[in-house]
Structure 1
């Protein structure tokens, strides 16, 4: 039995509450399946750390994380203490870039037991594959002048390699699902990068004749997420478009507190990183009511990444069963605490495994 080494960064706010709950679930899973084992190294890197040390993580932080099998992140950010652009670029985006986590994967699914805000959700189940290393989130640009002539320039950077990686990942994923890929574009308004994106995606699509591919302008695609989300399977999108679409995906599920994500490194040199979509929610931190499902579903994605399909499926089944039973935190209209929801998921996993 090989023990998976997990680097744990609870982060800020509710991250410090939901990460320990998710680790309890993982330990319960390891007891249910004898071939599953984890070890943890926990790092206290967050905005409070920044106030003490002037940086979000130590100089050797990346080297400490590098030998782990995966990074399990809570939530980073507390704008009351540190500006968001400082906290995110100081740790989250730093890890993504330095560890070449070039793909971001975020599922959206109509879970049992949760009422979607959509009138007709029709059992949607899709995954957004987001290019995670370049695009609109390039660091290239700057500001000049002041007063009425003040100007800011932000350059979007799209490379053939970056687009091909994202598109190939999306098509490979679609082969294991419903064999449909939707590509998010805006080539009718962004005249250089988006036609380039379209062309490279089409070239990749030609290698997958059994996978249906359609291209959608991002504004129309966003509206279709609301009016007909059940039609989508795998969506491939640029860094910014993917970021926006996945928050919308979380919203139509019923709460951003349940949405997971994975930052995927492709060739095994560095660990991948798994984090919920929700932020640190400082307004409810410390109240014991944060929804742990986003972090726990994120653990399910990490299990998928390790090839532990049986345990991953058991976990998601338990999550849905608990929600169907009405055990929910306040963001989903329930009255249960963070710990109560986690306890119920662990009990249900044990019941389902017997």
Structure 2
């Protein structure tokens, strides 16, 4: 395996260090596991030095790798639209990573902020390359009384069909029976009605699955009231982004949630990253939770065919949390980033000894 590693900004660098230690632990335990990692300092620091988030041939460089492990991006010295649109967005769009996969799962030892919110286990499939996050539009009459801004939502039948197919295939693979679609077609009458039509048409190809369609404002309420009822949720780029963060909060926080930006056809490398951002308020203090980054590594390994190693990592995370002796501040403890990473490495070793594969 050839993995490109982009730690990025803020706590991204701190949590990435722990994920790479977990990977080193796996390589020590399994001699035939061959992984080559290359670290790229494509970050806001790089932007301040060079005026670029990544070099002109950055995408060409990344295309030679099997997958990308990403940390976090964001720095007060650089506008957010620059960090996002000159690094993350080009990777997602040019590598056709149209599936953003985000599992939402109750973890042992973690208390949800909701009452009676255990046994949550669903996945969000967010369309990742078009929709509301399209670089189409502009501003006119700058600094004039009549100044205006237009942001176009771009949805294609191919894009909607692809994300619905990915969600349905996942549902069938893991024995789910229901796919929930997020919409707002009562008010957004062109793009979201088109979304509804395309979703319904594609779902006809999956007669084993039941389609539920909810308006986004109702759906966010249902995430709070009855999160256990969901199995697979499919949503547009914006709605999926919002629902993902809400799902993370429901299970205990952004520090626990991984994600994958996936090109299912495997023509291009897929990219795996924690849901959380660079968290500049705690960066450099060594207290960030590395679980989301380590779990993202697990998703990456599973994507590359090592589902056994993915299971080892997830089991190790669950064991550490269930024991409750090592917890970072965001989940009610006082452990450092390094202490949590070390505990997960030890749990990985324990899983191998007991052959949890």
Counterparts of 1:311 and 1:14 in 2: how far apart (Å)? 25
Deviation of 1:64 after TM superposition, in Å, equals: 1.1
2:230 to 229, 232, 249: 232
Q: How does 1:210-225 map to 2 (within 5 A)?
A: 210-225=208-223
Gaps of 5+ in 1: none
1:193-272 equivalences under 5 Å are 193-272=191-270
> Once the 2 structures are TM-superposed, how far is the Cα of residue 33 of structure 1 from its aligned partner?
3.2
Distance 1:13 1:139 in 2: 26
Bigger shift: 262-271 or 333-342?
A: 262-271
Alpha-carbon distance in 1 for matches of 2:222, 2:252: 17
What TM-score results when the alignment is normalised by the length of structure 2?
0.96
SS, match of residue 7 in structure 1: strand
**Cα distance in structure 2, aligned partners of 1:300 and 1:284:** 25
Match of 2:97 among 98, 101, 106: 101
* Kept after mapping to 2: 8 A contact 1:247/1:256: yes
For residues 119-141 of structure 1, what are the alpha-carbon distances to aligned partners after superposition, in whole Å with 9 as ceiling and x for unaligned? 01131111100000111111111
1:203-238, Cα deviation, whole Å (9 max, x unpaired)? 111111111211111111111111100111110000
Alignment: residue pair count: 350
Distance, in Å, in 2 between the alignment partners of 1:314 and 1:89 is 35
Q: Are the aligned partners of 2:105 and 2:251 in contact in 1 as well (CA < 8 Å)?
A: yes
Q: What is the aligned partner in structure 2 of residue 139 from structure 1? A: 135
Q: Deviations over 1:296-350 (max 9, x none)?
A: 0101111121121111111111101101112111111101111111111111121
SS at match of 2:145: helix
Pairwise CA distance, 1:148: 2.4
Query: Equivalent of 1:89, from 79, 82, 85?
Result: 85
2:336 equivalent to 1:331: no
1:314 is matched with 312
Give the match's secondary structure for 2:113.
coil
Q: Structure 1: how far apart are the matches of 2:226 and 2:246? A: 13
Work out whether residues 113 and 321 of structure 1, in 8 Å CA contact, stay in contact via their aligned partners in 2.
no
Q: Secondary structure at the match of 2:211?
A: strand
Aligned equivalent of 1:117, options 113, 118, 123:
113
SS at match of 1:31: helix
- Cα separation, 2, equivalents of 1:148 and 1:333: 50
CA–CA distance in 1 between the matches of 2:184 and 2:118? Answer: 27
Q: Distance in 2 between matches of 1:29 and 1:221?
A: 40
Q: Greater CA deviation, 331-340 or 28-37?
A: 28-37
Cα distance in 2 for partners of 1:7, 1:148 equals: 48
Please report the TM-score for the alignment, with normalisation by the length of structure 1. 0.97
Q: CA deviation at 1:190?
A: 0.5
1:345 aligns with 2:344: yes
User: How far off its partner does 1:113 sit?
Assistant: 1.0
Secondary structure in 1 aligned to 2:56?
coil
SS at match of 1:191: coil
SS at match of 1:56: coil
2:23 and 2:178 mapped to 1: Cα distance? 32
d(CA) in 2 for partners of 1:43, 1:9: 5
Secondary structure of the 1:149 match is coil
What per-residue deviation string (whole Å, max 9, x for no partner) do you get for residues 8-56 of structure 1? 0010011111111101101212333344221111101100110110110
Report the alpha carbon displacement of residue 289 of structure 1 after superposing the two structures with TM: 0.7
Shift of 1:179: 2.5
Distance (whole Å) between structure 1 residues aligned to residue 118 and residue 9 of structure 2: 36
Structure 2 unaligned spans of 5+:
none
- 1:66 and 2:94 are equivalent in the alignment: no
User: 1:169 and 2:187 equivalent?
Assistant: no
Please report how far the alpha carbon of residue 110 of structure 1 lies from its aligned counterpart in structure 2 after TM superposition. 0.7
- Greater shift after overlay, 167-176 or 31-40? 31-40
Give CA-to-partner distance per residue, 1:74-111, whole Å, 9 cap, x none.
00111x21010011111011111111111111111111
